[in-house]
Structure 1
Amino acid sequence: MNRNATILIADDDDDDRYLLQSVLDDCNLLNPTVFVGDGLELLEYIRTDNNDASVGLIILDLNMPRMDGREVLKVLKTEPKLRKIPVVVLTTSKSEKDVNQCYALGANCYISKPSSFDVFNDTILTLVKFWINLTHLPIKPEPFKAFY
């Protein structure tokens, strides 16, 4: 992973995007974050100007217009150039069917969005600590920048 590895977040809900950005700002995260509103925008971003080389983590909502998260997972995990990018599904769905389907499609993690702000905040902090500070990801040799 290069030192400027991007966290790519696909979510169509403005409130959820605002909350995510607020929590990430509070983390003093040094990695850039990019928000897209649906799966087509995600694929367009990741395939444009060699952006796939700089994306280190994808946070993916399931229910979005035009192309939903399930369809995005199918594409990402079948393309050799993209399949190693970790994908965390972050969605309101708690459906066992959705959980099983996402893991079958290659999701690395499935998290249901908490309804309270405090729990949402803690969940995102834990997600960031795990994926950014603790894991060794296979895409590039350089790690994410740490935050404290």
Structure 2
Amino acid sequence: MEDFTALGRAFRKHALPNPLLRCEDGDQALEYLQGYGKHPGWPQQLPAFVLLDLNLPGTDGRAVLGTLKQDPQLCSIPVIIFSTSTNVRDIEECYRLGANSYLTKPIEYATLEEKTKLLVRYWLDTAELPLMS
């Protein structure tokens, strides 16, 4: 929760125009992404990108990533891994599973804010993303 609060603050500071949705665990993330528009209170559209932690309760981030990248409806959504792990095996596995980017979570808020600014600038202002229904 602490990570999400800091991340939300950093996204708001950099004028993220999109709603920010937090899923509590991997199962909830898959439930939302595979059944978007059906849960009251959740956005009625797919996200511009998914920021995914590897160490999620329930279904872990690797399994969520693998499922998303194998789903024809969801595979074109950019998935950015945001993890504390700097383990080379974790990084290689995520790219093998289809991650579009891998960022390590910084400890200091100022660094988190800078990474967030770059993430928003690249994925929402620079990259051409597919239209998602």
| TM-score, L = length of structure 2 | 0.90
List per-residue Cα deviations over 1:58-112 (Å, max 9, x = no partner): 0000001101110001100111111000000001000000000000000000000
Q: Percent identity?
A: 34
Q: Which has the higher contact order (CA 8 A, sep 6+)?
A: 1
Larger strand fraction of residues: 1
Cα distance in 2 for partners of 1:97, 1:52 equals: 36
Asked if the contact 1:84/1:139 (under 8 Å) is kept, the reply is: no
Alignment of 1:1-148 (within 5 A): 14-50=1-37, 53-140=45-132
| TM-score, L = length of structure 1 | 0.81
List per-residue Cα deviations over 1:23-79 (Å, max 9, x = no partner): 011112221111111111111111224468532210000001101110001100111
Asked if the contact 1:39/1:69 (under 8 Å) is kept, the reply is: yes
Structure 2: unaligned runs, 5 residues or longer: 38-42
Cα distance in 2 for partners of 1:98, 1:38 equals: 19
Structure 1: unaligned runs, 5 residues or longer: 1-13, 142-148
Cα RMSD for the two superposed structures: 1.6
